[in-house]
Amino acid sequence: MAFVGFGTKAGMVPLHIWKPKVYASAPDNTSSLMAAVMLKIAIYGIVRHLFDFNAIDSSPDYVWLGMGIIIIGSISALVGILYALVENDIKRALAFSSIENVGIIFIGLGLSVVFAAFHLPSLSVLSFIASMFHTLNHSIFKGLLFMTAGSVHYSTHTKNIEDLGGLIKKMPWTAMMFLIGSVAIIGLPSLNGFISEWLTLQSLLAVFQIPSNVLQVSLAFAILAFALTIGLAGATFVRLFGVTFLSKSRSVNAANAIEVPKFMLIGKAILASSCIILGILPFIGMNLIVSAFNLPYMPSSPFETISITNSDDSNFASLMMPGVLVILTSVFVGVFVFVRIIGGKTKTMKYGTWDCGFGNLSEKTQYTATSLAEPIRRIFGVFYKPHNDIDADFYTKKNLYLKKSINVISTTRNIFDEKLYGKTISGSLFVLNKIRKIQSGKVNAYILYIMVTLVALLLFVGFGTHE
């Protein structure tokens, strides 16, 4: 038990070093506050959970506690990544992505509580490990990402990714580090993020062992949220990496950037290599967790397969990352030899990108960060409330097709911030006036009232009688 606090602390150390710095530089208080508070709650939750790990019984309280954690986790994962996706400030985007990852951690934690409440100790331990492993991983790769973002800021003096671009040629090592961090954070195989997300997902898939239909189907929705989060995370980091490091530079600052000093790279290199090591040999990290929390789980050799068995001892799923690595390498060697034999030696020429014959391919033709986020912004429009201010200047007033210049200001609103400022004005007349608006004239709304009444009454009675 003495290890408990230490283990938690150890997992959080890089965060403790880097977070305050980042948050100090982030102008937006609400988002950082949100992340910070949630991290604290997470730690609190972990500790509390640990003290009760054996004491959890199947009382509905614990089930609801677990479900509550999962719901909060799913929502914050989704919300966090959605805001990270449209954010143009690289550090704030990373901060939002922290919210997402804490959400994923919460999902695992909540699952652990739920499983424990239903007396499924092995599953409970599994999801707990998943959650803790993700905490550990997150602290590693998020530290890495924040450090590289700091390097970018250091050498280009800007955090706005709209002004960056092409940095991979100027700062190759930093770019490499950021790439590793990105691949890790979006949970792609062979790096550590994949393992913990795989574990979380597996524990989500195991929900069918819970003896309650309502919970099972609700947890299916958690899978939905989780999957969407993973997908959005992929898009977010493609956008962040692509716009920051690839293609042409979008500003003078970015064009004149130089690689950061070596000693700044060393710290990152350590973190990056631990991402890789934990990805290939996840058991090192898992053993750390098991011993730190004194869990009833048999740790074994670092090359062991992670294997999850069903209730009837058949193989539910298994994962052996060293094996994956072997396959990957051998395929690579194979195809390399094959291509050499068939194709022989060929020449590679460098030439400009295809410009449709117009010539003068400028950096303005490439996709901007905002336009990269546009389709997703549109699809989740309900959530972002996107707003475009289009200000066009015409050559003549008569012909509105020949535009001299167009100025588009595209904004999204953080509906959560807005919702925080509640509407405080109320009075009985105001309320009455609102009530009166029920008669909105829309027959659709009327039928909706009927449906809502019906469902509300059914719920009211349904829960009244069965519990």
Considering only 69, 145, 147, 230, the residue that binds other proteins (CB under 8 A) is: 230
Considering only 40, 378, 385, 403, the residue that binds other proteins (CB under 8 A) is: 378
Handedness of CA 303, 306, 312, 316 (dihedral sign): negative
Considering only 62, 178, 194, 384, the residue that binds other proteins (CB under 8 A) is: 194
- Judged by beta carbon, residue 157 or residue 437, the one nearer other proteins is 437
What is the distance between the alpha carbons of residues 66 and 70, in angstroms, rounded to a whole number?
Answer: 6
Q: Give the 3-state DSSP-derived string for 63-86, with helices as H, strands as E and coil as C.
A: HHHHHHHHHHHHHHHHHHHHHHHH
- Contact region with other proteins (CB under 8 A), list: 16-24, 48-56, 239-247, 384-392: 239-247
What is the distance between the alpha carbons of residues 282 and 190, in angstroms, rounded to a whole number?
Answer: 10
Query: Does residue number 453 form part of the binding site for other proteins (CB under 8 A)?
Result: yes
Nearest approach, Cβ of 183 to other proteins (angstroms)?
7
Query: Does residue number 449 form part of the binding site for other proteins (CB under 8 A)?
Result: yes
For other proteins, the binding residues in 288-347 under the rule CB under 8 A are 305, 307, 310, 314-320, 323-324, 327-328, 331-332, 335-336, 339, 342-344, 346-347
Q: Which residues contact 316 (CB under 8 A, 6 or more apart)?
A: 202, 206, 308, 309, 310
- Judged by beta carbon, residue 185 or residue 290, the one nearer other proteins is 185
The H or E element spanning position 121 is: helix 121-156
Using only C-alpha atoms, the chain has a radius of gyration, in whole angstroms, of 26
Distances (CA, A) of 104 to 114, 156, 170, 222, 227: 15, 33, 35, 10, 11
What is the distance between the alpha carbons of residues 254 and 326, in angstroms, rounded to a whole number?
Answer: 39
- Judged by beta carbon, residue 50 or residue 254, the one nearer other proteins is 254
For other proteins, the binding residues in 72-131 under the rule CB under 8 A are none
What is the distance between the alpha carbons of residues 91 and 153, in angstroms, rounded to a whole number?
Answer: 9
- Judged by beta carbon, residue 349 or residue 420, the one nearer other proteins is 349
Query: Does residue number 375 form part of the binding site for other proteins (CB under 8 A)?
Result: yes
Query: Does residue number 173 form part of the binding site for other proteins (CB under 8 A)?
Result: no
Question: And the tokens for 109?
Answer: 């934690």
Q: Which residues contact 189 (CB under 8 A, 6 or more apart)?
A: 279, 321, 324
Nearest approach, Cβ of 375 to other proteins (angstroms)?
4
Considering only 399, 405, 424, 439, the residue that binds other proteins (CB under 8 A) is: 439
Considering only 379, 392, 406, 408, the residue that binds other proteins (CB under 8 A) is: 379
For other proteins, the binding residues in 354-373 under the rule CB under 8 A are 354-355, 361, 363, 365-367, 371-372
- Contact region with other proteins (CB under 8 A), list: 246-254, 259-267, 399-407, 416-424: 246-254
β-partners of residue 319 are 306
- Contact region with other proteins (CB under 8 A), list: 4-12, 88-96, 162-170, 262-270: 162-170
- Contact region with other proteins (CB under 8 A), list: 50-58, 101-109, 225-233, 266-274: 225-233
Q: What are phi and psi of 214, to 5 degrees?
A: -60, -45
Report CA 142 to chain centroid distance, whole Å. 11
For other proteins, the binding residues in 31-50 under the rule CB under 8 A are none
What is the distance between the alpha carbons of residues 228 and 104, in angstroms, rounded to a whole number?
Answer: 12
Nearest approach, Cβ of 167 to other proteins (angstroms)?
10
Question: And the tokens for 306?
Answer: 């992670």
Count of positions on this chain that bind other proteins (CB under 8 A): 116
- Judged by beta carbon, residue 312 or residue 393, the one nearer other proteins is 312
Query: Does residue number 223 form part of the binding site for other proteins (CB under 8 A)?
Result: yes
Nearest approach, Cβ of 159 to other proteins (angstroms)?
19
Question: And the tokens for 133?
Answer: 């492993």
Query: Does residue number 448 form part of the binding site for other proteins (CB under 8 A)?
Result: yes
Report CA 447 to chain centroid distance, whole Å. 39
